[in-house]
Amino acid sequence: MIIMKKERLVKLLKELLRNSRRSDRELAKAIDASQPTVTRNRRILAKYIRSYTIVPEFSKIGYEILAITFAKAKICSKKEAEEKVERARKWTAQHSSIIFACDGEGLGKDTVIVSLHKDYSKYANFMREYSVNFADFISDVQSFVTSLKTGMITKPFDLKYLADDVDNNISIAE
Protein backbone atom coordinates (compact mmCIF):
# COMPACT_ATOMS: atom_id res chain seq x y z
CA MET A 1 0.00 0.00 0.00
CA ILE A 2 1.39 3.38 -0.99
CA ILE A 3 1.20 5.97 1.75
CA MET A 4 1.11 9.64 0.85
CA LYS A 5 4.24 11.52 1.82
CA LYS A 6 2.50 13.70 4.43
CA GLU A 7 0.94 10.66 6.10
CA ARG A 8 4.34 8.98 6.22
CA LEU A 9 5.84 12.10 7.82
CA VAL A 10 3.11 12.07 10.48
CA LYS A 11 3.65 8.35 11.12
CA LEU A 12 7.38 8.98 11.50
CA LEU A 13 6.76 11.87 13.90
CA LYS A 14 4.52 9.64 16.02
CA GLU A 15 7.15 6.89 16.13
CA LEU A 16 9.84 9.40 17.09
CA LEU A 17 7.61 10.65 19.92
CA ARG A 18 7.20 7.09 21.15
CA ASN A 19 10.95 6.40 21.07
CA SER A 20 13.49 8.61 19.30
CA ARG A 21 16.38 6.26 20.13
CA ARG A 22 15.46 3.80 17.41
CA SER A 23 17.61 3.55 14.33
CA ASP A 24 16.30 4.60 10.94
CA ARG A 25 16.13 0.91 10.04
CA GLU A 26 13.90 0.17 13.06
CA LEU A 27 11.74 3.20 12.33
CA ALA A 28 11.41 2.10 8.70
CA LYS A 29 9.96 -1.23 9.84
CA ALA A 30 7.54 0.55 12.17
CA ILE A 31 6.14 2.80 9.41
CA ASP A 32 6.50 0.30 6.57
CA ALA A 33 9.02 2.32 4.56
CA SER A 34 12.62 1.96 3.45
CA GLN A 35 15.52 3.12 5.61
CA PRO A 36 16.60 5.80 3.05
CA THR A 37 13.01 7.12 3.03
CA VAL A 38 13.07 7.44 6.83
CA THR A 39 16.44 9.21 6.70
CA ARG A 40 15.11 11.65 4.08
CA ASN A 41 11.89 12.23 6.02
CA ARG A 42 13.80 12.88 9.26
CA ARG A 43 15.53 15.78 7.51
CA ILE A 44 12.13 17.17 6.48
CA LEU A 45 10.84 16.79 10.06
CA ALA A 46 13.91 18.52 11.54
CA LYS A 47 12.19 21.91 11.55
CA TYR A 48 9.34 20.44 13.65
CA ILE A 49 11.62 18.86 16.27
CA ARG A 50 13.12 21.13 18.91
CA SER A 51 15.42 18.49 20.41
CA TYR A 52 16.03 14.83 20.94
CA THR A 53 16.32 14.16 24.64
CA ILE A 54 15.47 11.72 27.38
CA VAL A 55 12.84 12.02 30.08
CA PRO A 56 14.56 10.83 33.24
CA GLU A 57 13.04 9.57 36.45
CA PHE A 58 13.49 12.96 38.07
CA SER A 59 13.31 11.66 41.64
CA LYS A 60 16.01 9.07 40.92
CA ILE A 61 18.45 11.71 39.67
CA GLY A 62 18.02 13.99 42.64
CA TYR A 63 14.97 16.19 41.96
CA GLU A 64 12.41 16.16 44.73
CA ILE A 65 10.24 19.16 43.87
CA LEU A 66 8.27 20.07 40.75
CA ALA A 67 6.84 23.59 40.93
CA ILE A 68 4.38 25.37 38.70
CA THR A 69 4.56 29.08 39.48
CA PHE A 70 1.99 31.61 38.32
CA ALA A 71 2.38 35.39 38.47
CA LYS A 72 0.63 38.51 37.32
CA ALA A 73 2.67 41.09 35.40
CA LYS A 74 2.25 44.69 36.48
CA ILE A 75 0.82 47.10 33.92
CA CYS A 76 3.46 49.16 32.14
CA SER A 77 4.17 50.79 28.79
CA LYS A 78 4.85 48.65 25.72
CA LYS A 79 8.51 49.71 25.63
CA GLU A 80 8.94 48.95 29.32
CA ALA A 81 7.22 45.57 28.88
CA GLU A 82 9.54 44.62 26.01
CA GLU A 83 12.59 45.45 28.15
CA LYS A 84 11.24 43.41 31.06
CA VAL A 85 10.40 40.44 28.83
CA GLU A 86 13.96 40.48 27.51
CA ARG A 87 15.26 40.60 31.08
CA ALA A 88 13.00 37.64 31.93
CA ARG A 89 14.32 35.69 28.91
CA LYS A 90 17.89 36.21 30.08
CA TRP A 91 17.04 35.29 33.68
CA THR A 92 15.19 32.10 32.74
CA ALA A 93 18.02 31.08 30.37
CA GLN A 94 20.44 31.29 33.32
CA HIS A 95 18.36 28.94 35.47
CA SER A 96 18.63 25.33 34.34
CA SER A 97 15.96 24.31 36.86
CA ILE A 98 13.36 26.08 34.69
CA ILE A 99 12.06 23.66 32.07
CA PHE A 100 9.31 25.90 30.67
CA ALA A 101 8.28 29.55 30.98
CA CYS A 102 5.82 31.65 29.00
CA ASP A 103 2.94 34.08 29.13
CA GLY A 104 -0.63 32.90 29.21
CA GLU A 105 -3.98 33.45 30.80
CA GLY A 106 -5.86 31.87 33.67
CA LEU A 107 -6.36 31.89 37.43
CA GLY A 108 -6.01 35.68 37.28
CA LYS A 109 -2.36 35.31 36.21
CA ASP A 110 -0.51 35.87 32.94
CA THR A 111 2.86 34.14 33.36
CA VAL A 112 3.82 30.59 34.23
CA ILE A 113 7.10 28.87 35.09
CA VAL A 114 7.57 25.12 35.42
CA SER A 115 10.69 24.22 37.37
CA LEU A 116 12.42 21.28 39.06
CA HIS A 117 14.33 21.54 42.34
CA LYS A 118 16.62 19.21 44.30
CA ASP A 119 14.83 19.95 47.58
CA TYR A 120 12.57 22.47 49.27
CA SER A 121 15.41 24.80 50.28
CA LYS A 122 16.55 25.05 46.62
CA TYR A 123 12.96 25.82 45.65
CA ALA A 124 12.66 28.47 48.39
CA ASN A 125 15.93 30.10 47.27
CA PHE A 126 14.71 30.06 43.65
CA MET A 127 11.42 31.73 44.60
CA ARG A 128 13.21 34.34 46.70
CA GLU A 129 15.55 35.17 43.79
CA TYR A 130 12.60 35.29 41.36
CA SER A 131 10.67 37.66 43.62
CA VAL A 132 13.66 39.94 44.21
CA ASN A 133 14.62 40.11 40.52
CA PHE A 134 11.10 40.80 39.29
CA ALA A 135 9.50 42.79 42.12
CA ASP A 136 9.15 45.73 39.75
CA PHE A 137 7.49 43.57 37.09
CA ILE A 138 5.32 40.93 38.77
CA SER A 139 2.79 40.71 41.57
CA ASP A 140 0.60 38.07 43.10
CA VAL A 141 2.97 35.10 42.74
CA GLN A 142 1.55 31.67 43.57
CA SER A 143 3.03 28.21 43.17
CA PHE A 144 1.73 24.69 43.08
CA VAL A 145 4.47 22.44 44.48
CA THR A 146 4.55 18.66 44.39
CA SER A 147 6.96 16.08 45.71
CA LEU A 148 8.39 13.79 43.06
CA LYS A 149 9.49 11.35 45.78
CA THR A 150 6.39 11.04 47.93
CA GLY A 151 3.61 12.40 45.72
CA MET A 152 0.98 10.15 44.17
CA ILE A 153 1.91 10.24 40.49
CA THR A 154 -1.06 8.99 38.49
CA LYS A 155 0.65 9.51 35.12
CA PRO A 156 4.37 10.19 34.88
CA PHE A 157 5.63 13.02 32.71
CA ASP A 158 6.50 11.75 29.23
CA LEU A 159 6.01 13.13 25.73
CA LYS A 160 5.42 9.66 24.25
CA TYR A 161 1.73 9.97 25.16
CA LEU A 162 1.35 12.68 22.51
CA ALA A 163 2.00 10.12 19.77
CA ASP A 164 -1.54 8.84 20.25
CA ASP A 165 -2.93 12.38 20.08
CA VAL A 166 -1.13 13.60 16.95
CA ASP A 167 -3.43 13.26 13.98
CA ASN A 168 -3.00 13.36 10.25
CA ASN A 169 -4.45 16.86 10.07
CA ILE A 170 -1.35 18.58 11.47
CA SER A 171 0.22 20.91 8.98
CA ILE A 172 3.54 19.49 7.88
CA ALA A 173 4.82 21.25 4.81
CA GLU A 174 6.90 18.99 2.61
The answer to whether position 42 is within a domain reads yes
Cα–Cα–Cα angle for 138, 50, 170, rounded to 5 degrees: 100
Closest CA to 8 of 39, 36, 33: 33
User: CA 89, CA 69: separation in Å to the nearest integer?
Assistant: 16
Last residue of a domain, one of 13, 30, 54: 54
The answer to whether position 140 is within a domain reads yes
Q: Give the phi and the psi of residue 164 in degrees, each rounded to 5.
A: -80, -10
pLDDT tens, residue by residue, 103-139: 999 999 999 999 999 999 999 999 999 999 998 888 8
Bin 106: left if φ > 0, else alpha if -120 < ψ < 50, else beta: left
Closest CA to 71 of 10, 134, 5: 134
Q: Is there a single domain that holds both residue 21 and residue 73?
A: no
Last residue of a domain, one of 23, 39, 54: 54
Q: Is there a single domain that holds both residue 50 and residue 67?
A: no
The answer to whether position 166 is within a domain reads no
**pTM, whole model, 2 decimals?**
0.84
Radius of gyration in angstroms for the set of CA atoms belonging to the chain, rounded to a whole number: 20
Instruction: List 146's β-bridge partners, or say none.
Output: 66
Q: Is there a single domain that holds both residue 40 and residue 81?
A: no
Report how many domains make up the chain: 2
Q: Is there a single domain that holds both residue 50 and residue 64?
A: no
Q: What is the pLDDT of residue 143?
A: 96
Q: Is there a single domain that holds both residue 45 and residue 90?
A: no
Q: What is the pLDDT of residue 94?
A: 96
The answer to whether position 129 is within a domain reads yes
Report the percentage of the chain scoring pLDDT > 70: 96
CATH number at residue 38: 1.10.10.10
The answer to whether position 168 is within a domain reads no
CATH number at residue 127: 3.30.70.920
Q: Is there a single domain that holds both residue 90 and residue 15?
A: no
Q: Give the 3-state secondary structure of residue 110.
A: strand
Blockwise average pLDDT, block size 10, the chain, 174 residues:
74 93 96 94 92 91 96 87 91 96 93 97 97 90 94 88 79 66
The answer to whether position 157 is within a domain reads no
Q: Is there a single domain that holds both residue 100 and residue 87?
A: yes
**Domain interval for residue 91:** 58-147
Q: What is the pLDDT of residue 1?
A: 41
Q: Is there a single domain that holds both residue 143 and residue 62?
A: yes
Q: Is there a single domain that holds both residue 13 and residue 34?
A: yes
Q: What is the pLDDT of residue 23?
A: 95
Q: Is there a single domain that holds both residue 127 and residue 67?
A: yes
User: CA 128, CA 125: separation in Å to the nearest integer?
Assistant: 5
Residues 6+ apart with CB under 8 A from 34: 28
